[in-house]
Structure 1
Amino acid sequence: MLLGVIADDFTGASDIAATIAKGLDGEGGLRTTQFLGVPTAPAAAGVEAGIVSLKSRSIPAADAAAQSLAALDWLRAQGARQIVFKYCSTFDSTPAGNIGPVAEALAERLGAKGVVVCPAFPGAGRTIYLGHLFVNDRLLSESGMENHPLTPMKDPDIRRVLAVQSRGKVGHVAQPIVAAGSDAIAKALAAASETLVVVDAIGNDDLTAIGAAVADAPLVTGGSGIARGLPHNFIARGEASGSGAGAPAVNGPEAILAGSCSRATRAQIAHHRERHPVEMIAVDAVMDGHFDREAVLRFVLDNAGHAPLVYSSADPEDIAAAQARYGREAVAEALDGVFGNLAKDLVTRGLRRLVVAGGETSGAVVGALDLSALTVGREIDPGVPVLVSETAPRLGLALKSGNFGAVDFFDKALAHIGGSA
């Protein structure tokens, strides 16, 4: 293994897996496997990049750091020469953590200084300028992320957000230095006295330059875009094949499970319901014990072949009202349990293609399915690849961050998993 990644949620892991498996345009990437949780056995021979998927984004910071350090130890035992800490490109995190504490813990273990912090992913509309994170043409705090039910992002200044979470001061490499190229970036990082350094990036060329600048860095942190140039470093040195993504097609009964309440997912649901059967899970029914799981299972199985969708996504006002009635954590935990159990029962009854929207929902689903490793295949939309389980029964999955994907993502995902796209 050459490159090791620690991701703080399952869709984020899939996101960076797609970037690493694809590599720079036309060059190819690394042979990539996504591991679900810290493995207890060695990686298979031939894995060039290993992504350890954790569900650590919203847990206590100390627990997130401990899990991340365990992942680090396993990746280093597999021979990983460089570590990436991957978090969301919208920097999802509360003032108490977890991005700062985890990044500092990893840096301390690796003895790293001048560690890049760069959640930019221009392909998905995330850019950083003067330390401020933008989502398309809006500041992060005006993008809808200010209404996130678990990690509301009300400050777009990543330097300021990170400083609140971290023990040390936060550095910054501004756009003019980034535009000057990899040598200038490397020089600025080497001169930094801070452990964590926010680096601007407004386009893919910036990310490529950053990748070249950190070719020998023990630790890099960021969104999936930060990995854009990293495979090239290994390929250029003749240490990697450049064979990139490859996963077999999977066909059979299908379902789409959506727990994200992001603007993008709600638009995708609205588009999908115009052509396909959909079923909404009411939060009140779940919380008061009246949810009929068997009826939902019948709905999905009776509509096999027609891309049935089950969702709990709602408008921010409805979410806030439900949280006020039952408690934020209680609602999140209950819905995660519902989706996890649905997925497990559906697979038991023959489901073979599964699309999941939402990081927390995806974590609940893959946890319930008890999957251990996934082969990374073709990219469906920026940041979302096809994933195929390496154990029987073979499952084809797409795990989508709430804000990712085109409006017709669900149809495209099922087609890609089945090999017909």
Structure 2
Amino acid sequence: METWVDVPEGSGFGVENLPYGVFSRRGGPPRVGVAIGDRVLDLAGLAEAGLLTDRGWFAAGTLNSFMSAGRPVWQATRERLTALLTGPEHRGRVEPHLVPLSDADLRLPFDVADYVDFYSSRDHATNVGRIFRPNAEPLPPNWLHLPIGYHGRAGTVVPSGTPVVRPCGQRRSEDGPVFGPSLKLDIEAEVGFVVGVPSALGQPVPTAGFRDHVFGFVLVNDWSARDIQAWEYQPLGPFLGKSFATSISPWVVPLAALESARTAPPPQDPEPLPYLRCDEPWGLDLTLRIELNGHVVSHPPFATMYWTAPQQLAHATVNGAALRTGDLMASGTVSGPERDQRGCLIELTRDGREPLELPDGRRRAYLEDGDTVRIQATASGPGGAPIGFGEVTGTVLPASR
């Protein structure tokens, strides 16, 4: 498709994408927009001009109302936006509602209802299992049978660019437990999906219902304090080592933009139980890019993830748990089989035993105060057009005590 908007080559925000976000002009109220090239299209402005149907969805500080409207509304809105951005006859009325991204403050795109983090990369789970449990099998016996996950803290999900204060907590020492700032602050490069349409309590959502409930995908950095995590995680799993901050990208890429990126996931052996089986492939061929202080340190491949998003959704609701608009479910760390495909520092440095050598001469085992992490992702869209996810960034600040 051709758009009359001047989209820089390789931007990832062409008309094939149209990701949704929430923005405000300097000092103005928040409103919903879509990214197109290096600008954001003000959907509230389009609605006020009579160019787009709006039932209170777009002059809002979150995407939640629009996300809850459901798949027919999402599809009709996408078709209308595509027509407005590709039809030259619409240019005169639409162009005034394009805001340069440099003039927009990007917000948290949706109110997070619940936050679940899965553990779906076999490469990551194997590597971390060998580090945390060196004298045992790296994968727990249930890992190949179900998508393992834990509930995080929705209130500490923050938008990209929010500084991350180094957490304090208990950690193990040679003299017993001690309290203080984490010495092993880490990242986890992940991809998450957000629920739009809720479900009824007691009614599981099958894998085939994924499109009817899920609005789109975001990038996630699940910051992790590995020393706090290692001391607390048995027997109930992560808690304070994960709950201090989780960063997400400002743009939600809709499912419709990712149809061309779908691919077959890795073979699953043993075959999952019936409720986890999918009638169509739901692996996603995305390539992530991790930068530490401006230096690329890894390119994790999302296509290698063992458990897929529809399987995660089905497992999360199979006991009858209800979905709510704004539920965020993250993939877990995205890692591949190669050293430069690992999605966190505990893997990249083998728990600090093999520090990263950065091009500027500095070395990193784990994050230091002042470090900035940037994660990006790209998928292949129709005709090979890049589908960008934007970025999720964060800078580490010293512990507050």
- So what's the TM-score if we normalise by structure 2? 0.24
- So what's the TM-score if we normalise by structure 1? 0.23
Which structure has greater strand proportion?
2
